[in-house]
Chains A and B, each alone.
Chain A
């Protein structure tokens, strides 16, 4: 009797969960399907679900007409560059706060976090003017800089929580054995920190890839990453759904796949340890 109820329970929750999961995923799936349709099929009413003439020509057109690769490269350089530089600055900082905390460490951490809460629009005017005067508008360097600063607090926080989990006894043992700080860093700390470093890198790459306030306001063409490139599809309405879908699929597919790998780190990275 009990088992029967349980298995019915499993089936019901399975059905409900799959239904909701499918509904939430539907817009992405629908876009993915549309990317393989002709423009006429994409616009067809009633909609064509699976039985349409599948074609990959949209993907070719997107590249030919608008140089998708150029913008994808910009996205990679901007997201990758800003994340790497942020890591270079954050690793020593997080290491020092995790392993030799002082009385003020907690305040420093919370202060760093509070810089992330400043609304970007509050400093849009000065940043725009400074960028204009220094020739940084529509430049990759400018976007790397601003996204690096914007994500630095999150990078430091994530690394801090990971480093915190490395048992201190091991470090002390290494010190007793006469390891210098350099050796300690290379042989003891690094191997234990790699999973944390990797997830931090990945999550912040994703956040920078999808950033759409500074990229939209500070770049137009040359340095425009995919967020801006996709936004350029907002003007002509109606006839370019399939191409919009193809460009969008290319822009989000790699990130969704990376994102699925980081789903567990997402909670840690975005709640700053407030939810465990």
Chain B
């Protein structure tokens, strides 16, 4: 190849790259612009509203109040209660899904006859819409007189629990945990199936017990997927809404009101725009703390 040819080829390549880059940008921009608007505009409006005294009942009389709404929201006893409820809900569901999901995934990783059918049964709850799972659990399973759980309690000579009066939070936790158990199990199972079999076999040959193989090989291998499950579930669990909306409506009292439901009720039941917006921003901040860690973990694993 002569020098001229080389230069010519290089030039076409440069042109080609520039062309692709322009095209690439053109193809990318609609998505970027849309997501940018979607991220910025509502958030900016929330910030703006959060500084106003503004209720829909009396929408003519609005005034700028600075940080007053935040002071009100953060010192409202309902906020502390709902923050506590949010943490209890998220924490309990995480604990249940991880503590049950890990053994379940280990079990499904064993040679099981008809494994694909079992997998289908285990995964199914994830695809059930939240309003259905909440109402089916509330009525068909947890009803204190005619529910399936009441019948089981009676079989063992126990007094059936009146779930939504005596342990409403526990009831919500169980429903939500049932919905998310498949997610945790499936991800942990996927991770287990990518584990190095030879390593395990070598450990067994060296006389390692099943327990120590689990503790020293499998558990470290699962550390990352477990972290990912925890972070992703947390993002979604922080905003659990439909399950509470159709079962307890946040009650009795405030017993099952989480942050998401508190903000909803301030916005669309009490029509207090300013206060609900302040609450919304608090929720955004809480979610962002979790998102920060999740995005870092994902970014570390991302090859472009």
A129 to B139, CA, bound (A): 35
Contact A275 B224 (CB under 8 A): yes
Do residues A152 and B43 form an inter-chain contact, with CB atoms below 8 A? no
Which residues of chain B from 116 to 153 have a CB within 8 Å of any chain A CB? 117-133, 135-141, 143, 145-146, 148, 150-151
Please determine whether A113 and B242 come into contact, CB atoms closer than 8 angstroms. Answer: no
User: In the complex, A112→B260 CA distance in Å?
Assistant: 23
Check B118 against A256 for contact (C-beta < 8 Å).
no
Q: Which of A96, A100, A123, A210 has the most CB of B within 10 A?
A: A123
Interchain CB contact (< 8 A) of B298 among A25, A212, A255, A273: A273
- A100 pairs with B24, CB closer than 8 A: yes
In-complex Cβ contact of B118 among A17, A102, A238, A275 (8 A): A17
Other-chain residue from A110, A266, A275 in contact with B228 (beta carbon distance below 8 A): A275
Q: Is the CB of A109 within 8 A of B302?
A: yes
A186 at interface by CB-CB < 8 Å: no
Using A30-B148, A121-B260 as known contacts, say yes or no to A17 and B246 having CB atoms under 8 A apart.
no
B298 contacts A274, CB within 8 Å? yes
**B46 CB contact (under 8 Å) in A106, A125, A233, A275:** A125
Interface residue tally for chain B (C-beta within 8 Å): 107
What's the Cα separation between A39 and B226 when bound, in Å?
43
Nearest A-chain residue to B277, judged by Cβ: A125
Say whether, besides A30-B141, A273-B302, A122 and B287 are in contact (CB < 8 Å).
Answer: yes
The answer to whether B291 and A125 touch across the interface, beta carbons within 8 angstroms, is no
Which one, B72-80, B201-209, B278-286, is touching chain A? B278-286
B20 to chain A, nearest CB (A): 5
Question: Is A274 touching B297 in the complex (CB atoms < 8 A)?
Answer: yes
**Residues of chain A contacted by B225 (CB below 8 angstroms):** 275
Q: Verify B127–A121 contact, CB threshold 8 A.
A: no
Chain A contacts for B304, CB-based, 8 A: 97, 101, 105-106, 109
B110 touches which of A13, A152, A230, A233 (Cβ 8 Å): A13
**CB of A234, distance to nearest CB on chain B (Å):** 4
Residue-wise interface mask of B (168-203) relative to A, using a CB-CB cutoff of 8 A (1 in contact, 0 not):
000000000010011100110011001000000000
The answer on a CB contact under 8 Å between A121 and B241 is: yes
- Interface flag for A270 (CB, 8 Å): yes
Please tell me if the beta carbons of A267 and B31 are within 8 angstroms of each other in the complex.
Answer: no
Which of A20, A102, A129, A206 is close to B21, meaning CB atoms less than 8 Å apart? A102
**A89-B125 in contact given A121-B263, A248-B132 (Cβ < 8 Å):** no
B280 touches A123 (CB 8 A): yes
Bound CA span A255–B141, Å: 22
10 contacts between A and B (CB under 8 A): A17-B112, A92-B27, A93-B32, A97-B304, A125-B277, A130-B42, A227-B129, A244-B136, A273-B301, A274-B224
